[in-house]
Structure 1
């Protein structure tokens, strides 16, 4: 808001127009003398701090009053110790002379004769820059006690035999440390911002996946309800068919019984007519003619007892289906899921959802998971050669006479490692120092096509392979035909590759010295992962870590 200014530059007060060597310069560049600033102290106490000339408000976020700002700035002005009448603001403080000098009185100190004097920015209390034990200027820094000391302390004081250095050198070193610290903090802030973007992207993906899953569940449960409705209709239809069939059979028997009753009643009339004859001759004649029928109609009829029909079989089936579903639904959903986040314990749940890639540059963290793979001779292109350890592969002009097996690449100069990883964390390194200006290093599934030169064969051009590529001076990360530029400050001599199978990450680092993170692929691995390379001209080697 305000700063002190020397009388040689601003000598006129903006209010009283008097010349003064003690001025306070506001952020709007108006200058006030100390008297005018004090006069408006009470007047502006309850108002937003602003300049009384132009009324511009102070940009200060804490809204300090004008008087507070004036008092703060005037208290920080260091005056020259050699100005007798009106002291001017000091330009420098000399620790050798134990005094502060304005621009005019500082001139002798700029000459060769005072070159040994130690000048610092204006200091109100010179004693803060002096050794409290010997009352001499602090010229050294004790690394053991972490304190500024004078030149006498290492000889006669309590800092004898301590490791000391000059203040200027130590200050430069600490400034460099602070510069590195600030750079790393900025880098960490960028990483945290990237972490926020990744988490927000994951949250958006989670919401989309959740909505898709809910829609899928609605469709599946609708289908299940339709299946249950169809099963209900089929069961009822079965019962109805059985009922109608049996009722039809019952109706047939009832009709037969009714026909028998009708015939019996008709014959009874005929028998009664014969029975009523008074003429014995006519009675005997007709009786004899109807005697066979009389015998037949006297036979006892069969007694029909319908067997009760039961639908216990279908009831038993539906009851069994209901009990089976109840037994399934009785268990919590989480215990019924075979995999996924819902099957993890609460303690590991958050860790399983959040993968943290170590970017501290501590190589020992990765070496805990160090592996030393070797190349698979059956996968090498005929122009590639292995050394005796099978750790280094190089190019040759002539093809070797090797069997063209199903695992061998016949067009591209590519090779697989013999080792594969299908769980856990694994770290291996590739030495690419002698591979000139072209190489591909990464990993792939065993299902990568080996024959021909197409997107199904090239490392990083399909869904089953991931690689970091260098060609000329450019670096690219390849997967499924998509490439992402990778910024590399210095060409790495070794490339470290870290696979976290469960987390679904494949990370690349500059393993030469600093373990700088280069790129990370994120995927859901479902098959064993093999280290893989593609050569241009120079050799590529697996580094022995175990």
Structure 2
């Protein structure tokens, strides 16, 4: 292998032979001197010279620099290659003075012959010639020492004539070696074709799996980017909400602290005044001279002249402390509730984009609904489709899907072609098919309506109007069968939750559409576990 690689590196790109007197151009590429001179001679007329390998142009005819190192390597390689050929080649058995390559081998003589000795070799039939070989003894019978000429089909062995006539293979069915060889080659070709077919099948499967793996990797990469962006946005919102809550707490703390500090200061002054008066009275009480005690002002004068009013003031401050001492929990709770809504919004991300698996059932479509060939679009039309009236066909402009769901989490997206009255949702297969049985107008269906530019969600004739403005024409319906939840989302940026119905589902749920004008198209859907009814 290394010799083959070296051989490729020592080839002139012009003559494709080992370099002879290699020279190098300024761009670094090497050629035989004779080869590059011929090329440059042909470029003399145009006056533009360029390298045959990299096409780098030279203003003047480039000077040729002799590559001595490459010349030595090429010479050494040629010598080594010649020595190896002489060592590994099959030489004539009779040329003992100097080795001469053999051109044929004689199986009878067990000798290899050059051209000279081959001309003088016996031409008798027992002298069988073959391509030069070093293992001539393997072409003779190990028992009779005769040439193997036949093939025993019963024992699957190559035998000589003596084995067939008098040996252990006597009476067996035999074939000539060439005939047996062709038969085996035919079988081998059939085996080869079968193996090739299997290999091609495996290769095709590998390619399909590689394609699926690339799709999975691309999908995972896209989802990772989407989740990263979503989490980044959530962290930003959480940080903003945290700052808002902490700021509100700090503001309320300041509002409460300032009046309390003033009240504390007033009470401290009053406490000091009372302490001073108490010390003076205690001093009078400890005097032994009655005259001195009696000459002091009346003890009533030592009391605070505004004591009664002070009690009222203190009571007012206490009332203020009691009424305003707590934080405004309502404001903080509202802010934290907003945070919960942000986190809840992540729920829309549990569904992964996937291939559409919801097809409309023409057998249930009303006769004024045109269903597309791919069973994805329902269009209102004035032309009656003249479908046969059956028990499963809706009398109004409704249609439901072929597939129903009895477990797992699933979603499907729709696109509305024009504004007007339309309904999307899910229903039980037991829903009534008469005119008055619209999706949501019974206890067997749940729906999102648009009528008179007003959006509502309806179940069992109970309507809940959606107050938020809706501008998108794309919507998502998500089903979590085990959890008993059917949710509707507006496919805006970011996706917006509209409403979630909660129920204990008792039948398979089918996608359902009502089209008053325009059309509704199913864009796609996915499931966390596919289990159609």
The answer to whether the superposition gives a TM-score over 0.5 is no
Q: Work out which structure has the larger RCO, using CA pairs closer than 8 Å and 6 or more positions apart in sequence.
A: 2
Provide TM-score, normalisation by structure 1. Answer: 0.37
Provide TM-score, normalisation by structure 2. Answer: 0.38
